[in-house]
Amino acid sequence: MADVLGRTVMARHRYARLWGLGDRNAPAAQTPGVVLMEGDPTMPLKYAPFESTSSGTLPSVLEVRSRGSFGPPDFAEIGPHYSVSVGHVLPPSLEDANAGEVQGTSALLPVSWQRMHHDASLMDPALAPEIVVLTDAVQLASQPGKLPTALMTLKHRFPGALVWAPGLGGADNLAALVSMGVDLVDLARCRQAAAHGMVLTQNGPRDPLDHEATDLETQVFHLMKALDEARAAIANGSLGVLATRASLSSPRMVEHLRRHQGLMAEQVGVLASHMDANHVFECFSSHVLDDPVVVDWERFICERYEAPEHVREVMILLPCSAKKPYRLSKSHGQFLRAINSTGCHEVMMTSPLGLVPRDLEDIWPAANYDVPVTGDWSLDELDRVHRMLKHLTARAGYKRIINHTNLDLSFLEVDVVDTRESDGATQHEALERLKQAVKDAVSTFELRNQKNSRRLLEHFRSIARKTTGTDAWCQGLEVRGKLPRWRLELNGQQLAVWSIDRNGFSFSRASIDVLDEHKALPEIELHPEVNWKGDVFPQHVRTFDPALRRGDDLRVMQNGECIGLARAHAPGWEWGGTPGTLAKSHQRKKKP
């Protein structure tokens, strides 16, 4: 019988992962999935990869058995199977009391709130469970803040494990739980719904219609549909929207999700640095204002963003557009013709991101978000813009702001010229005022236009500061080529190409030493004996930067030398134990 669970991450979205179980080339089952209990109806293996029983004696023994052949290397036998003593655990409210029977430790790891607070053995670096069971999940869900805290703690401590939250999952809340890191659920809530004559759907529990049954098989049908939707959402990156929608059927679940987002915003190595150009960050509700991506963007603009040096005298504050990047929209075409200068710093006011400088409009998330344009701004949205403007004006030291929005900028201690005067942004009179205001600023502050290649280089340097950690490697570069494939060259040698497919740099082999010299990009170090040929796996890695993000280009170090570049497929929180591919080789030095 196989004693190791073969698993690989097929898709990921923050803390949610689509695990393939068994042979990674042809997985027999996937998660999120179901653990069947005694008396449950049979479900297809692809939805229910495990089954479980618990002894009726004390101390209780929990068994989890695979329903498919998940054990490497040949995946010929059903397995693996697990057994562990659960013990007797005090309620989460008694977290200060170090009592109760000791819970067992094995590849199946039962963890309670009390155990997380008192069992030092959980910090043993050799402990690498395959399934973690949050034994008091139901009790934690009834107490403010404890469920999201427990789940996040377990994900960071055991990134390679599947997490089962017994008694919590149903069709109504599955997407929200999955977004917080739950991989396995059971049919306990389905049984409750059947017992109460309710139908548990993705939109919440409800009374049945005349033609509807409420038996367990009906509940399971709705749960399987929810599993399909959650898996698809992980794969296409839309789980955030689905989770928000799922949470709205329960005030408690809204609370859990908001607390989870707040905790996530304080973590490093969770978010993505790049997303494909066709990926859309859907900003269709006010909930997105608290999304970690939005919080992260605001933090960057307020604390680390540096405006290009030659445009720090005058800011032009412009409204956003539905089309991204903004400069390709009809309205911004009119703005650019009226401005007719590259001596001012153009900054867009937008929701939910607050402010987007022109030099960053091509990168994630500024280039990928989609928001309904109504012209109405909530107080929360305005507060974010106010905060960001205060920080940006203080950091850049603008001497004048040309305001082509309807926002009142009297709260800023800087000269402001209003060019809208209640007119529409693209009305002739407003555009004329914009034109004259820019001309006056150019004359007053002796602003100079720059060649397009120089302006592009300044934009790429700004992007480099955001995505590679420094623009020092851009010293002496020249921008050549033509839209959309701009080349960044040093002494005639190509170091990078701007990729519109990923909204980021694609580095050449010639860039390896330059990037390493300036310590650009996060760094990982391979074990000395590793013969690195392709993908980066956990067994290859000696050290890594825990703050690295999915999509980051990485400097690959070995024996004190940078031997190449890789591109992260997993964010930093997963690198401490997630099996499978963590990064893919991008460039490698030629061996002498």
Which residue carries 């960071």 as its tokens? Answer: 156
User: How far apart, in whole angstroms, are the C-alpha atoms of residue 66 and residue 49?
Assistant: 6
Alpha-carbon distance 510 to 489, whole Å? 10
User: Where are the alpha helices (H) located in 196-237, listed in sequence order?
Assistant: 216-236
- Provide CATH code, domain 7-44+136-265: 3.20.20.105
The yes/no answer on whether domain 467-588 falls in CATH 3.10.400.20 is yes
Burial zone of 344 (CB within 10 Å; 0-12 exposed, 13-18 middle, 19+ buried): buried
pLDDT of residue 58: 72
Half-sphere exposure of 521 (CA within 13 A, CB side): 29
Sheet holding 16-21, edge to edge: 7-13, 16-21, 29-31
pLDDT attached to residue 1: 47
Cα 95 to Cα 36: distance, rounded to the nearest angstrom: 30
In contact, 403 and 409? CB cutoff 8 Å: yes
- What is the structure's pLDDT at 59? 75
CA distance 90 to 135: 11
- Alpha carbon 452 to its chain's center: 34
On whether the CB atoms of residues 541 and 535 are closer than 8 A, the answer is no
- What pTM value is reported for the model? 0.94
Over residues 119-177, the pLDDT tens digits come to: 899 999 999 999 999 999 999 999 999 999 999 999 999 999 999 999 999 999 999 99
Helix locations, 61-120, DSSP H: 113-118
DSSP codes, 429-487:
HHHHHHHHHHHHHHHHHT-----HHHHHHHHHHHHHHHHTS-SGGGTT-EEEEETTEEE
Domain ranges of the chain: 7-44+136-265, 281-445, 467-588
Q: How far apart are CA 105 and CA 532, in angstroms?
A: 34
Residue 294: per-residue pLDDT = 96
Phi, psi dihedral angles at 419 (to 5 degrees): -105, -5
Cβ–Cβ < 8 Å for 178, 14 = no
In whole angstroms, give the CA distance from residue 425 to residue 403: 10
**Residues 294, 366: Cα–Cα separation, whole Å:** 10
Whole-number pLDDT of residue 375: 74
Q: Count Cα atoms within 13 angstroms, Cβ side, for 262.
A: 9
Sheet holding 50-54, edge to edge: 81-85, 61-66, 50-54, 33-37, 184-185, 162-164, 131-134, 108-111
Residue type, 420: R
| Separation CA 412–CA 4 (nearest Å) | 61
Contacts with 430 (C-beta within 8 Å, 6 or more apart), sequence order: 404, 419, 420, 421, 423, 424
Distance CA 466, CA 521 (A): 10
pLDDT digit string, tens, across residues 433-471:
999 999 999 999 999 998 899 999 999 999 999 999 999
DSSP-derived pairing of the beta strands 33-37 and 184-185: parallel
Low-confidence ranges of the chain (pLDDT < 50): 1
The Cα 567–Cα 547 span in angstroms is: 14
- Which of the following CATH numbers is that of domain 281-445: 3.30.70.270, 2.40.128.280, 3.40.50.10630, 3.30.499.10? 3.40.50.10630
b/e 556-578 (16+ beta carbons within 10 angstroms → b) = bbbeeebbbbbbbbbbbbbbbbb
Q: Counting Cβ atoms within 10 Å, is residue 157 exposed (0-12), middle (13-18) or buried (19+)?
A: middle
